[in-house]
Amino acid sequence: MLAQAQAELPNECCGLLAGRLPAEEGVVRVERVFPLVNAAASPVEYLSEPKSLLAAHLAMRTTGLDVVAVYHSHPTSPPIPSQKDRERNYSGETVHFIISLQQWTPVMEGWWLTEESYLKAEWEVVDD
C-alpha cells in the first residue's frame, strides 16, 4: 500500500484489503491487497475505476475472500478523513485506511466513517 501510494504521486491511490470475515465480532486478518486504478487521477480525490474494481471482486469471489478494508492516500494532507471521504464512504461497516504522504515518513490511520462523523479504528500490523 505504501509503495503504491508513493508510486502514484502526485495523485491519490486507492485499493481494497481482503480477508475472511469472522462469524462473530473478532480479529480480521488481511490476506490480500488489491490495488485499484484511481479513475479521478487527482491529488485530492479518488474514484475506483470500475474495471479494476470488478477484477478485484471477481478474484475475491474465486478465493472466498471478503472486502475487510478500503484504503487511499492523501499526498499532501494528514491521514484524517475529508468531508468528501465521509460522503463517499464505502460502508459504515468497513475500515477505511488513509495513508498520508505529507511528511517524509508515511503515516497511516484507520477510520470507521459515516457521512456525519469518523472514529479511529483499532488495528495493528503483525508479522507471521
Per-residue pLDDT reduced to its tens digit, 98-109: 999 999 999 999
**Residue 59 forms part of a structural domain:** yes
**Residue 125 forms part of a structural domain:** no
The per-residue pLDDT for 23 is: 66
What's the domain range around 63?
2-21+38-120
**Residue 126 forms part of a structural domain:** no
Whether residue 12 lies in the annotated active site: yes
**Residue 82 forms part of a structural domain:** yes
Question: DSSP of the chain, one letter per residue?
Answer: -HHHHHHTTTS--EEEEEE---SSS----EEEEEEE-BTT--SS---B-HHHHHHHHHHHHHHT-EEEEEEEEESSS-SS--HHHHHT-S-TTSEEEEEE-SSSS-EEEEEEE-SS-EEEPP------
CATH code (residue 48): 3.40.140.10
**Residue 85 forms part of a structural domain:** yes
The per-residue pLDDT for 77 is: 96
Count: domains in the chain: 1
Pick the catalytic residue: 8, 12, 25, 109?
Answer: 12
**Residue 127 forms part of a structural domain:** no
The residues, any chain, with a CB within 8 Å of residue 78's CB and separated by 6 or more, are 100, 102, 107
Return mean pLDDT, the chain.
91
The per-residue pLDDT for 114 is: 81
Per-residue pLDDT reduced to its tens digit, 52-97: 999 999 999 999 999 999 999 999 999 999 988 888 776 777 899 9
